[in-house]
Amino acid sequence: MPKRWIQRDEKPRRWLLSERIFKYATAAAGAYVLAVILVMALQLGFESAPIWEEEGAEFIFGTDWNSVPGRESYGALPYVLGTLITSALALALGFPLSIGIAMLVMIMPKRLGRPLGYLVDLIEAVPSVVFGLWGLFVFRLYFRDYVEKPLHDTFGDSIYLFGGTPFGLDILTASIILAIMIIPTISSISREVMSAVPQQQKEAAYMLGSTTFEMFRMAIFPYSKAGLLGAAMLGLGRAVGETMAVTMLIGNATGANAMVSSLFDAGQTMPSIIANEFLEASPVGLHTPALIGIGLILLGVGLSINVAAHFLVGRMVKVNEGPVH
Amino acid sequence: MRAIAKQERRATPELEPQRRYKMVTENVNVYYGDVCAVKDLTMKFPEKSVTALIGPSGCGKTTYLRCLNRMHDMTPNARVEGRVLLDDADLYDKSIDPIYHRRKVGMVFQKPNPFPTMSIYDNVVAGVKLNGVRNRAILDEIVEDCLNLAYLWDEVRDILRKPALELSGGQQQRLCIARALAIQPEVLLMDEPASALDPIATQKIEETIQELKKDYCIIIVTHNMQQAVRCSDYTGFMYMGKLIEHGETKQVFERPTDKLTAKYVQGQFG
Amino acid sequence: MSHENRQQKRAEIRAMFKSNVRRRLWVDKIMVGAVVVCALVAIIPLVWILGTAVYSGLPALSWAFLTEEPGAVGAGLISIGPAIQGTIILIGLSSILGLPVGILGGIYLAEFGGGGWLARQIRFFMDVFIQVPSIVLGIFAFLAVVLILGHFSVWAGGFALSLIMFPIVARATEEAIRMVPWTYREAGAALGLSKMAITLRIVLSQAKKGIITGVLLSVSRVGGETAPLIMTVVGSSVFFEDMDTPMDALPLRIWRFSLQPYDEARIAGWGAAFTLLLIIFAIHLGVRYFFMQEHGGKGLRGVLHLGRKVR
């Protein structure tokens, strides 16, 4: 921005002062976010220090979870794994769907594509807790009877993943709801990323006689690879932090019981254990520090996924800014 | 009526009747929304020749060229009327998918647009692979042949596996020509292929065109009148979406029949 | 290679090209079908959820349901009065705490920071911060407010929600201000106004629509948040008493209902969900309508993906 704001001869002093105050006030408001992130990380670290001192690496790699005073033992591994597995499953299910939707919106005439895009975006507006309610009272019952039971009856004995008791409150149900919830994030970003592919690239593919789908494969996907990866990472970040719907559907096992052994087992994720136990944790003892420690891990995972995602999406845009050569 | 008939005759002269016409357009109109960008254009392109389309910016040259390849299909709100015949088959026949025709009509765009993530080799064979040819030896042969035709082989023979983006702008454009040639088209459309290039690269591309015209029907849009004189056999002059004059290049530049053409080729406007 | 050779070769290669076009067009059609299925798979749950909310939630609605305190389950009356009140209070409080910071921060990014180092960092971390798991913000508010004040409070909940709100508002404000043509600022400068006056009186009033849209969308996001409320306002079954006590909120109430094994609770849960969806969708559709008139819906997509926008 050019620095050519009025240089009047008789600048009243008060003006200058208020100008400066205004500028610093806005800068402070902007820098607030940096302060919040810093203070948050420090505070979570400080408040969870007792658990790190007590358990050390055992806190990340242990599987015990006992909050009875005197026999306290905390290991977050089942929840870390639960988060990673549900998120990865959700991504595996949601990513192809999202790319498909983004492709459909791109190949449809604008008149139809725009409302479809909007409809998909509306999924994002549905609160997590409503997703949970629907999953708990509606989806779970159908899913249990028409998908999980047949799968279990057919493959339960031979395939390890389909063992367990289909009850509807398990890893798979939670992952499917998560997949639906991350679709709007991934599809809207991948749509933007794919629309940023220059028209000349698409024309080059069409010129060679490609069909629409071959054009995507030849021109759009390779060009927007990094951005699509970034979109997937943002979806993953969303899935990792998602709390309510997962809490209501994952079955809430604790400790070693929460170690994932089958898709039809109850599990637990980092956000859900916090949501379930934070209020019950006694102020003395290690329970609260343990939950805060999980929060710290969650913050670390969430921040690193999103930082990586933004770098990828940002790089994609940089490629677009310059000419091809 | 007489006047119209007369004008039509002037617009599409019988160019050496013994020559076969590869491509013919009849009364083509192109609209962007309500704006008519190309008006009632009737033109014939003989095989094994170069036809240049000249005219001031915004006269509809590129728009017209793009409808010879059905490239407007992807532009929302663009509409094409009239008939475009390739060997007597209508390109705009609704029952035939455009990709049947696009295989026969190659196109080189104004800006070089190689696929940035592919190697030089893969860029050339991208279209060939679509057509189901997978045999390594044949692909190698096509790559060498097409790069040779585009005067690029000597420069890239040792770096075929490198990304296309490592080439210079002129080399990229010649790579795009090679890519268009690899699908063995019958017609080659070139949209100001040399506009972004330096004089040496331009010269190379013009040499390429001279070589290619022994086989192809080439239609080239150009801003540069010297280029049209140097490398074309026929020239069409367009103005405001209409074809003003069409004839042998020598005649159009030396003895134009239309005042507007005369003014333009003498550099009085444009 | 002689000309004839070349011609012959070309014919050979052409002959080699398989006439696979028909098959490829079929593949193309199948792919189109597949992506249509993708869209359906995403849309069906949305329609299903909304349908269930209307079908199961509407019968639960009554004046008493919306305005009274929830009685004990089995007493024949479950109401969500305090929850609605609490959600409104929380939205108000988080707006008071979050909007000034958000709007000022947006002004900094658009007017003062430009492409400088600090502005780039702020922009980047705002985009990242929007994605921080909301339950972590809840823990932070618990540590920073509840522990320090010594009790659960409305303040803590409002603070946690304001952390969700301000980066969204800041980025929307930045985008909106960037849309204001430079000439407006020059006109202000020509009148001899200071930069502050130009920004506050001219630029902000021009960017009003974009900012309001961002604010409303952030409100709709905050209104549905549950996780950070668990450890801050906790929930309650009576109307608001004062700022230093626990309070109820719609999403919290829905969660509580879902934990109770009674049919009444299930129906009340859908009633509450219907109410919450009604509020949120009213904001969304209102914003869309509001924007459609001038921008043909164009600016909307950008605003909808605040912070996730590709820049």
Per-residue confidence (pLDDT) for residue C1, from 0 to 100: 55
Per-residue confidence (pLDDT) for residue A164, from 0 to 100: 77
Lowest mean pLDDT among A155-164, B90-99, B101-110, C292-301: C292-301
- The CATH architecture one would assign to domain B1-104+187-195+208-270 is 3-Layer(aba) Sandwich (3.40)
Token pair for residue A47? 């408040």
Contacts of A323 in chain B (CB under 8 A): 111
Per-residue confidence (pLDDT) for residue C303, from 0 to 100: 39
Cβ of A324 within 8 Å of Cβ of B116? The answer is yes
Cβ of B99 within 8 Å of Cβ of C24? The answer is yes
> How many other C-beta atoms lie within 10 A of the C-beta of residue C239?
14
Per-residue confidence (pLDDT) for residue B5, from 0 to 100: 45
End-to-end CA distance of chain A: 29
Contacts of B145 in chain C (CB under 8 A): 1, 6, 9
Contacts of B97 in chain C (CB under 8 A): 21, 25
Per-residue confidence (pLDDT) for residue A310, from 0 to 100: 86
Per-residue confidence (pLDDT) for residue C305, from 0 to 100: 39
Cβ of A204 within 8 Å of Cβ of B114? The answer is yes
Cβ of C10 within 8 Å of Cβ of B215? The answer is yes
> Chains contacting C with at least 3 CB pairs below 8 Å?
A, B
Q: What is d(CA C210, CA C180) in angstroms, rounded to the nearest whole number?
A: 10
Residues in B lying within 8 Å of C, measured between beta carbons: 97, 99-100, 103, 128, 130-133, 138, 142, 145, 184, 214-215
Q: What is d(CA B16, CA B38) in angstroms, rounded to the nearest whole number?
A: 26
- Residue B236 CB burial class (10 angstroms; 0-12, 13-18, ≥19): buried
Q: How far is CA B197 from CA B110, B131, B168, B203, C202, in A?
A: 10, 31, 10, 10, 47
Taking the CA of residue A217 and the nearest CA in chain B, the distance in Å comes to 11
Helix (H, G, I), strand (E, B) or coil at B90: strand
Per-residue confidence (pLDDT) for residue C265, from 0 to 100: 86
Helices marked H in B45-198 = 61-67, 98-102, 120-130, 136-149, 153-156, 169-182
Percent of chain A with pLDDT over 70: 92
């009747």: which residue's tokens? B17
Every domain of chain C and the residues it spans: 21-60, 63-304
Per-residue confidence (pLDDT) for residue B47, from 0 to 100: 85
Angle of the C154-179 helix axis to the A13-47 helix axis, nearest 10 = 130
Residue pair B127/B175 in contact by the 8 Å Cβ criterion: no
> How many other C-beta atoms lie within 10 A of the C-beta of residue A11?
12
Residue A325: which pLDDT band, with cuts at 50, 70 and 90? very low
Q: How far is CA B36 from CA B28, B31, B75, B82, in A?
A: 11, 4, 15, 13
Q: What is d(CA C79, CA C69) in angstroms, rounded to the nearest whole number?
A: 6
Q: What is d(CA B235, CA B255) in angstroms, rounded to the nearest whole number?
A: 12
Percent of chain B with pLDDT over 90: 23
Per-residue confidence (pLDDT) for residue A14, from 0 to 100: 58
Taking the CA of residue B6 and the nearest CA in chain C, the distance in Å comes to 40
> Chains contacting B with at least 3 CB pairs below 8 Å?
A, C
Quick one: CA torsion of A205, A206, A208, A209, rounded to 10 degrees? 130
Lowest mean pLDDT among A166-180, A192-206, B64-78, C80-94: B64-78
In terms of CA atoms, which chain C residue is nearest residue B215?
Answer: C7
Per-residue confidence (pLDDT) for residue C72, from 0 to 100: 61
Average pLDDT over all residues of chain B: 85
Hey, is the C-beta of C52 within 8 angstroms of any chain A C-beta?
A: yes
């969500």: which residue's tokens? C80
Q: Which residues pair with A194 in a beta bridge?
A: none
Helix (H, G, I), strand (E, B) or coil at C227: helix
Per-residue confidence (pLDDT) for residue B4, from 0 to 100: 46
Q: What is d(CA A287, CA A267) in angstroms, rounded to the nearest whole number?
A: 19
Per-residue confidence (pLDDT) for residue A271, from 0 to 100: 96
Q: Is the pLDDT of residue A45 over 90?
A: yes
Contacts of C269 in chain A (CB under 8 A): 133, 137
Which amino acid would we find at residue C218?
Answer: S
Lowest mean pLDDT among C7-11, C135-139, C168-172: C7-11
CATH number of C63-304: 1.10.3720.10
Q: What is d(CA B72, CA A230) in angstroms, rounded to the nearest whole number?
A: 32
End-to-end CA distance of chain C: 52
Residue pair A167/A144 in contact by the 8 Å Cβ criterion: yes
- Residue B101 CB burial class (10 angstroms; 0-12, 13-18, ≥19): buried
How confident is the model over C64-73, as a mean pLDDT? Answer: 77
């019988």: which residue's tokens? B14
Q: Is the pLDDT of residue A101 over 60?
A: yes
Residue pair C308/C130 in contact by the 8 Å Cβ criterion: yes
Q: Is the pLDDT of residue C122 over 50?
A: yes
Lowest mean pLDDT among A157-161, B130-134, C144-148, C299-303: C299-303
Residue B110, CB-side half-sphere exposure with 13 Å CA sphere: 12
Nearest to A324 among B69, B106, B165 (CB): B165
Q: What is d(CA B146, CA C225) in angstroms, rounded to the nearest whole number?
A: 61
Per-residue confidence (pLDDT) for residue B97, from 0 to 100: 83
Q: What is the pTM of this model?
A: 0.87
Q: Which residues pair with B237 in a beta bridge?
A: B54, B245
Q: What is d(CA C287, CA A15) in angstroms, rounded to the nearest whole number?
A: 38
Q: What is d(CA C85, CA A111) in angstroms, rounded to the nearest whole number?
A: 40
Residues of B numbered 124-153 whose beta carbons fall under 8 angstroms of chain A's beta carbons: which are they?
126-127, 130-131
Q: Which fold has domain A54-321?
A: MetI-like fold (1.10.3720)
Residue B265: which pLDDT band, with cuts at 50, 70 and 90? confident
Taking the CA of residue A158 and the nearest CA in chain B, the distance in Å comes to 41
Per-residue confidence (pLDDT) for residue B160, from 0 to 100: 92
Contacts of C7 in chain B (CB under 8 A): 215
Q: What is d(CA A207, CA A216) in angstroms, rounded to the nearest whole number?
A: 13
DSSP A218: I
Contacts of C14 in chain B (CB under 8 A): 184
Hey, is the C-beta of B196 within 8 angstroms of any chain A C-beta?
A: no
Q: What is d(CA C137, CA C228) in angstroms, rounded to the nearest whole number?
A: 6
Lowest mean pLDDT among A158-167, A202-211, B56-65: A158-167
Every domain of chain B and the residues it spans: 1-104+187-195+208-270, 112-184
Per-residue confidence (pLDDT) for residue B213, from 0 to 100: 85
Hey, is the C-beta of B170 within 8 angstroms of any chain A C-beta?
A: no
Per-residue confidence (pLDDT) for residue C213, from 0 to 100: 86
Cβ of A324 within 8 Å of Cβ of B172? The answer is yes
Residue C306: which pLDDT band, with cuts at 50, 70 and 90? very low
Contacts of A221 in chain B (CB under 8 A): none
Q: Determine the distance from the C-alpha atom of residue B4 to the mean position of all C-alpha atoms in its chain, rounded to a whole number.
A: 28
Q: Is the pLDDT of residue A75 over 70?
A: yes
Per-residue confidence (pLDDT) for residue C311, from 0 to 100: 29
Taking the CA of residue A27 and the nearest CA in chain C, the distance in Å comes to 6
Q: What is d(CA C106, CA C171) in angstroms, rounded to the nearest whole number?
A: 6
Q: Is the pLDDT of residue A1 over 80?
A: no
Residue pair C184/C192 in contact by the 8 Å Cβ criterion: no
Of A84 and A317, the one with more pLDDT: A84
Q: What is the DSSP string of C94-160?
A: HHHHHHHHHHHHHHIIIIIITTSHHHHHHHHHHHHHHTS-HHHHHHHHIIIIIHHHTS--HHHHHHH
Contacts of B183 in chain A (CB under 8 A): 208-209
């900012």: which residue's tokens? C211
Contacts of A248 in chain C (CB under 8 A): 255, 258
Token pair for residue C41? 């798979």
A231-247 pLDDT tens trace: 999 999 999 999 999 99
Q: Is the pLDDT of residue B45 over 60?
A: yes
Per-residue confidence (pLDDT) for residue C304, from 0 to 100: 41
Q: How far is CA C246 from CA B116, C105, C138, C240, C241, in A?
A: 59, 31, 14, 8, 9
How confident is the model over B38-47, as a mean pLDDT? Answer: 89
Taking the CA of residue C20 and the nearest CA in chain B, the distance in Å comes to 7
In terms of CA atoms, which chain B residue is nearest residue C26?
Answer: B97
> How many other C-beta atoms lie within 10 A of the C-beta of residue A41?
16
Lowest mean pLDDT among A99-103, B30-34, C161-165: B30-34
Taking the CA of residue B184 and the nearest CA in chain C, the distance in Å comes to 7
Rg of chain A taking only CA atoms, in angstroms = 25
Q: Is the pLDDT of residue B11 over 80?
A: no
How confident is the model over C235-242, as a mean pLDDT? Answer: 86
Token pair for residue B257? 């029949």
Residues of B numbered 38-97 whose beta carbons fall under 8 angstroms of chain A's beta carbons: which are they?
69, 71, 74, 76
DSSP B109: -
Rounded to two decimals, the ipTM of the complex is: 0.89
